[in-house]
Amino acid sequence: MKKIQISPSILSADFSQLGNEIKRLEKAGADMIHVDVMDGHFVPNLTIGPPVIKALKKHSSIMFDVHLMISPVHNYIEAYAEAGADIITIHPEATADLSSSILKVKKLKKKVGISLNPETKTDVIYNFLDKIDLVLIMSVNPGFGGQKFMPEVLDKVKELKRIQKEKNLDFDIEIDGGINFDNSKSAIQAGVNILVSGTTIFKSNNGDIKKNIELLKSK
């Protein structure tokens, strides 16, 4: 079984202190940093772009797990790779040609992830599973932090786990949205090995992020 990893979403961090927030997460034992990039078009919210990622990356050594919620995504991939993204995750609905977008990330020597919205079926990525590093299962509709977890998406995690075994594949399964200390366990049991969390990490236990990371990891 893969090691359970935590990818805190900086969407819930103090935006006036982002550099320090990332240092704090690194110290607290985060395995990577989840960066939610939103364009006000693919999702109804707007966050940060390549210059901010570049500035943050310069002062940290932790992996940047960049979740692109932008459309059309294809022509922006390079900018995020250059800014310092280590994992680049895209939504199939945000590109006209998923195959060439995957290839583009690969050519830039970055890990490539594909994200499935709650209503998107696994069929969409079935033929790409041997070409990608990660599947990001959305457990809320993308756009905002602090939403309620949708337990039904765990069926897709189980299905992906089954396909993974059948085809002898090794991609990571990450979950994103509404993760808390209760549902983290069911997600891990279903087969998730990377948990994204914003609200729970930054707001639970009076913002004790070290404790919150440890609690999310415990099975």
CA distance to 90, 111, 205, per residue, from 130 (Å)? 16, 13, 40
123 belongs to the catalytic site: no
Rule CB under 6 A: is residue 11 a binding residue for ligand DX5? Answer: yes
Helix (H) / strand (E) containing 35: strand 32-38
When binding is defined by CB under 6 A, the residue of 31, 36, 65, 133 that contacts ligand DX5 is 36
Q: How far apart are CA 215 and CA 196, in angstroms?
A: 13
Measured in residues, the chain has a length of 219
Rule CB under 6 A: is residue 198 a binding residue for ligand DX5? Answer: yes
When binding is defined by CB under 6 A, the residue of 83, 196, 209, 216 that contacts ligand DX5 is 196
The candidate with the shortest Cα–Cα distance to 105, out of 73, 151, 137, 60, is 73
When binding is defined by CB under 6 A, the residue of 88, 125, 176, 191 that contacts ligand DX5 is 176
Name the segment binding ligand DX5 (CB under 6 A); options: 6-14, 151-159, 185-193, 206-214. Answer: 6-14
- In 61-208, the DSSP E strands lie at 63-69, 87-90, 111-116, 134-138, 172-176, 194-197
Instruction: Decide which of Zn ion, ligand DX5, none touches 177; Cβ closer than 5 to 8 Å per partner kind.
Output: ligand DX5
When binding is defined by CB under 5 A, the residue of 24, 67, 91, 110 that contacts Zn ion is 67
36 belongs to the catalytic site: yes
Q: Which 96-125 residues touch ligand DX5, going by CB under 6 A? A: none
Q: How far apart are CA 192 and CA 200, in angstroms?
A: 17
Residue 72: asked if its preceding bond is cis (omega within 30°), the reply is yes
Rule CB under 6 A: is residue 199 a binding residue for ligand DX5? Answer: yes
Which residues, other chains included, contact 119 with Cβ-Cβ below 8 Å and sequence gap of 6+? none
Q: Please report how close the Cβ of residue 166 comes to Zn ion at its closest, in angstroms.
A: 28
Cα angle for residues 5, 85, 203 (degrees, 5° grid): 50
Q: Which 145-174 residues touch ligand DX5, going by CB under 6 A? A: 145-147
Binding site for Zn ion (CB under 5 A): 36, 67, 176
Binding site for ligand DX5 (CB under 6 A): 9, 11-12, 34, 36, 67, 140, 142-143, 145-147, 176-179, 196-200
Active-site positions read: 36, 176
